[in-house]
Amino acid sequence: MANPNFNDVLATTIESREKFLADNVTKNNALLYRLNERGNRRTVSGGSKIVEPIAYGETDSAWYSGYDTLSFTNPQLFTAAEYSWKLLAASVGASGEELLANSGKERIIDLFEAKIDNAEKTLRNKMSAAIYSDGTGTSGKELTGLRALVADDPTTGTVGGINRATAGNEFWRNQAEVKATAGDKLTIATIYGAMNDIYLKCSRGTDRPDLIVADDTMYGLYESSLVPQQRFMDSKLADAGFQNLKFKGADVIYDGGQGGYCPEGHMYFLNTKYLKLRPHKDRDFRLIGDRNRVAINQDAVYAIIGWAGNLTMSNASLQGVLVDYVTPTSAS
């Protein structure tokens, strides 16, 4: 059996990097970066579900004069969306042979650092892909992503325990414009107008989209439609490594190409005030369980880095998606 003291090095190496690891995973994705920047990465201490209160009704009010009768019906003003816990983990291990080959404290730390770097990269990629998921991947174990929260068809499906197809739940439907035919396919000449339409539908007074995330095609169309003096960008996002433009004050982010996960032909108009990343306070890319995971029937030691939580939404009507017509792929 491998020397169990080596596992202390593995565990302490992970523990010393917990905050960095959590921050680095968040900073890998434009949406998660924005949520983190505006303080919408909020931990949860427990519970069977992650609950987001929703204000959707209006209290009784009326213009009146003299002795007019005022109505007091006490309408329902609030409800709540409930989101299930979603769990993600990556393992880091070292065999006794690896430990012997990398003998000496400094070299062992180098080995574990390299393995943790790999686990971090894996977690970053998993989270970035899951942000755009519909939550059904891996038998429903995947994060509730934008394809569920900001759906192409917002009149179907259940999100946060609220059925969007049910009469009376129209408040829980996002805005969507889908180009269904080849004749409607967006061009450089039409992209700005289509973006303006969905942007206005997602606006309510001063409440409006602050982040627009696009795949490479949609981003390219918008960029090509701009004259040079219109190509403003957010310097903070640029400094963080995100290629971006501006549209009516909202940041337009490119998340396509290699390593990009935004669905083909999609552009999401997000009001991040109503989106939150809700990790569990004890499982935010942290070491899981016993720090001394020595294998019973192997000459090896292991550690598991885990995350638990979900992406939540508390207002759907101020979120939107613009979907371009995508030419069907011919069967080979």
Domain that holds residue 103: 5-56+79-323
Residue 220 lies in a domain: yes
In a domain, 332, yes or no: no
Q: 3-class SS at 108?
A: helix
Examine residue 329 and state whether it is found in any structural domain, yes or no: no
pTM of the model: 0.86
Cα angle at 226 between 225 and 230, to 5 degrees?
Answer: 165
Query: Pick from 144, 142, 166: which is nearest to 155 by CA?
Result: 166
Contact (Cβ atoms closer than 8 angstroms) between residue 305 and residue 90: yes
Helix, strand or coil for residue 216? helix
Q: Read off the pLDDT of each residue in 83-110 and give the average, rounded to a whole number.
A: 82
Do the beta carbons of residue 139 and residue 125 sit within 8 Å?
A: no
CA triplet 323, 220, 270: central angle to 5 degrees?
50
Model confidence at 7: pLDDT above 70: no
Would you say 198 and 322 are in contact if contact means Cβ atoms under 8 Å apart? yes
The residue count for the chain? 332
In a domain? residue 29:
yes
Share of the chain above pLDDT 70, in %: 86
Name every residue whose Cβ is closer than 8 Å to that of residue 208 and which is 6 or more positions away in sequence. 199, 202, 248, 249, 250, 271, 318
Which tops the pLDDT comparison, 263 or 292?
263
Provide the pLDDT for residue 24.
Answer: 76
Q: What pLDDT sits at residue 69?
A: 81
Residue range 121-126: average pLDDT? 88
Specify if 331 maps to a domain. no
Report yes or no on 74 lying in a domain: no
Cα 184 to Cα 66, 156, 174, 190, 191: the distances in Å are 56, 23, 21, 10, 11
Q: Is 295 helix (H, G, I), strand (E, B) or coil?
A: coil
- In this structure, is residue 22 part of a structural domain? yes
The domain total for the chain is 1
pLDDT, tens digit (0-9, with 9 covering 90-100), for 254-271:
887 676 899 999 999 999
179: tokens are 């180009």
pLDDT in tens, 310-331: 999 999 999 999 999 998 876 5
**Secondary-structure percent of the chain, ordered helix, strand, coil, rounded to 5:** 30, 25, 40
330 assigned to some structural domain: no
CATH value at residue 220? 3.90.1690
